[in-house]
A = this chain, B = another copy of it.
Amino acid sequence: MSALEFEIHATDGAARTGLVRLPRGEIRTPAFMPVGTAATVKAMLPESVRATGADIVLGNTYHLMLRPGAERVARLGGLHKFMDWPRPILTDSGGFQVMSLSALRKMSEEGVVFRSHIDGSEHRLTPERSIEIQRLLGSDIQMVLDECVALPATDSTIESALSLSTRWAKRSKTAFGDQASEGRALFGIVQGGTNPVLRRRSAAELVEIGFDGYAIGGLAVGEGHEAMIATLAETTPALPQDRPRYLMGVGKPLDLVEAVARGVDMFDCVLPTRSGRNGQAFVRSGTLNLRNARHAEDPGPLDPACACPACRNYSRAYLYHLVKSAEILGAMLLTWHNLQYYQDLMAGMRAAITAGTFPAFVAGFRAETGADGPLADG
């Protein structure tokens, strides 16, 4: 019995659109999940995140276990109450950031021991502890701990990580226990680098264990857009049709479009929020760098097709001024806009799939943004 229901309302080629149902709310798919790293989608009020159209946000187990700590969040009533986001939350396992952010001390069959990037304190993460943390946080969709390999890597390294990840996935499923009765779901994570054989093997092993949904991990880690898309095309057919597929940590707008065309349902990425804080905006014609002096006297809106407050109420000249002056409002408005852009993109894809016009949507998007999204300016 899964606490997560997945309805596919329409398909167009490999692309599908539908609903993930959880007790805390529905998630329209394909879905983009804004990243709320440390119990906040940076520079946004949660009601503003919701206003962009987000149905679910992501929390980072690594960050939350270090600060404020999972037990503290539990004592305070859980992550939803803590951060005032009553809708679904997906948490990652913490593994990816242990490897990318911390001083990794020791990796073993049991798990990983690492030092916090905040204060150097030593911590332990195992499949069981990761699930315990995610349960303490109150996460609606929990992820298994896996070993993610940076690419390029040898097949032997990738295979070894894959095998460990499968063993950890089993332990995670056991640790997850009967949380379905509490309305919670658990996703497995397919590994295997860019090797189709290993990807299919990983998928088969996870399906054998059985999860509420399947993530595709270990991509966007250095392999490039083409290799990522090719790997996706080999991986999604190996996953159950009737369960949601989540491509972790991806990506640029064109990545999302190409991934949806290959049957992916869910995404998360820091790109819209991080870019917003850095003065970059995603618009229909590409990306804009608001530090560029050509915006200094531009009275026009950031994106005339966008209904977010940054586009509705302000000029590019004002946003340029805010970014140049390092004003917090610049980060607030550009983050809001970028999240709106991503949600509008997902809504556009859902509508195109429903209408059976998704191939034209993809072709148009490719033509508009180019194969690797040429920047509208530097």
Contacts and interface: CB of A to CB of B under 8 A. Distances in A.
A45 B309 contact: yes
Interface stretch (A149-157, A192-200, A317-325): A317-325
A40 B45 CA distance: 18
A184 interface: no
B76 A39 contact: no
Q: Give the contact-size bracket for chain A.
A: 35 or more
Interface in A75-97: 75-77, 82-84
Contact of A39 (B43, B299, B321): B321
Interface string A307-331: 0010001110110011011011101
Given A38-B325, A328-B43, A328-B331, A315 B67 contact: no
Interface in A197-240: none
Q: Which of A313, A321, A322 is packed against the most chain B CB atoms within 10 Å?
A: A321
A25 interface: no
Interface in A40-88: 40, 42-45, 67-68, 72, 75-77, 82-84
Interface of A: 38-40, 42-45, 67-68, 72, 75-77, 82-84, 277, 296-297, 299, 309, 313-315, 317-318, 321-322, 324-325, 327-329, 331-332
